Amino acid sequence: MVSNSYICKHVMGTNSYGQLGLGHKEDVLLPQSLEIFPCNQQRIKSITGGGGHSAVITDAGELFVCGQNKEGQLGLNHTEDVLCFTLCTALSSLHVIQVACGWDFTVILTENGEVLSCGSNSFGQLGLPQTLGGCLSPQKIESLREKIVNVAAGIRHALAATESGLVFQWGTGMASRAKRMNQGRTIPPFLTAKEPCRVSGLEKVKVKRVTASSYHSVSLTDKGELYVWGSNKHGQLVSKEIFLAEPVKIEANFFLDEKIGAVWSGWTHLVAQTESGKVFTWGRADYGQLGRSSVHDGQRQEVCRISEEHSEQLFNVPVPVPCLTGASQIACGSEHNLAIVGAEQHRGIHECTGRLDASAAEGSQCFSWGWNEHGMCGDGTEANIYAPKPIPAFGSAELFLIGCGAGHSMALCQTPLDVTHRES
């Protein structure tokens, strides 16, 4: 990768809390360059976002944050919104390797396998003792005694995968639905836990990666299998049950008997990539978040034209999206998605990051699709996008890294934007 000083940083979408780091709170419909960034001399390792905040990790293990901070989710020891990316100095003695942003809280994983959290704890989503309220500064989750290798945050719950392959969950965001859908039956303790509780039903597998949504959870095993649990309201769990109280495996035949290499989750839809590079989507589809509907003469195929029964059968099953095959990176917001696709990037999935390794980004394109009410798909409009299409402003820019928050998007590329398009 080239020196970070030559990489252009671009943001777009919802900005009502300053989560784009531009110094203001106006939505951005076209990718806009992030001119002021405090870590310009460091390489950026990852970018991600939550309900209204954003987080960037550098190769040096520093965490930079901006956006909504009402609950202290930025970990800066105050509750004022922050309009520009700011270093989280509370973590200066630690090397951060992953950050997961929930709706109003943040979960942080360090190089030595420790997990910290900050923000709202109204649903126990921080995993800290119940006597402790919200945290304005990151606090270590002491009850996670085993080394953690991966973390995830939903709206009001969180997950952690250990080095030995166990999964822990905490936060009661899924509890009310679990109780309502399982009346008269005992629900597993991890669904109501306010501190890390081992997820039952995964005893015979080794999990290497986890992801979370609004009301469901997903784990990916070292054998390339997906296990899912929680709400199935939109068919995102590929089950006839409306709620799965414990993990259930999605059978390999749904993925053409290929092993899964990576998985991502929006609030109500899922995206998975097989080890050969095929990309499957399933779940809620009304905003175009599955990228399956065709577009003709500017008119999209209305999902409502399909009968409810047929719609369920169609979207509750993983289906490959051919134009995304070989994507080197994928990111999911609440109901929108980004993907980097390039002809020379089919080099196997990176086990830690969940993206395909690529020695160069030459010839890549950044595709977007799904909910676009605030311009997070970057095409200059607020119309939802029902089939993946390249973001015109990026042109032939060499793309390196993408990330999504609930309603905003971020991307790094080596070359400037297509100025002609921006002015059109």
Distance spanning both ends of the chain, measured CA to CA? 32
> How many Å separate Cα 141 from the centre of its chain?
22
CATH of domain 102-423: 2.130.10.30
- Order of strands, edge to edge, in the sheet holding 365-370? 329-332, 336-341, 365-370, 385-390
Which of 254, 237, 255 is closest to 245 using CA atoms?
237
Which of 194, 130, 187, 189 is closest to 157 using CA atoms?
194
Tell me which amino acid residue 412 is.
L
Walk along the chain (424 residues) and give the pLDDT tens digit of each residue. Answer: 334 444 678 999 999 999 999 999 999 999 999 887 776 567 899 999 999 999 999 999 999 999 999 999 999 999 999 999 999 999 999 999 999 999 999 999 999 999 999 999 999 999 999 767 899 999 999 999 999 999 999 999 999 999 999 999 999 999 988 988 888 788 999 999 999 999 999 999 999 999 999 999 999 999 999 999 999 999 999 999 999 999 999 999 999 999 999 999 999 999 999 999 999 999 999 999 999 864 333 333 444 444 444 445 567 899 999 999 999 999 999 999 999 998 544 333 333 334 444 433 456 889 999 999 999 999 999 999 999 999 998 876 677 799 999 999 999 887 666 544 443 3
Q: What does 273-327 look like in DSSP terms, one character per residue? A: EETTS-EEEEE--TTSTT----EETTEEPPGGGS-HHHHHHHHSS-EE-GGGTT-
Contact 21, 66 (CB under 8 A): yes
List the chain domain ranges.
102-423
Alpha helices in 141-254 (DSSP H): 175-181
Structure tokens at 424: 């059109």
Q: What are phi and psi for residue 125, nearest 5 degrees?
A: -75, -10
Return the bridge partners of 110, or none: 96
Sequence-distant (6+) residues with CB within 8 A of 278 are 255, 256, 258, 320, 325
Burial track 383-400 (b if 16+ CB lie within 10 A, e otherwise): ebbbbbbbbbbbbebbbb
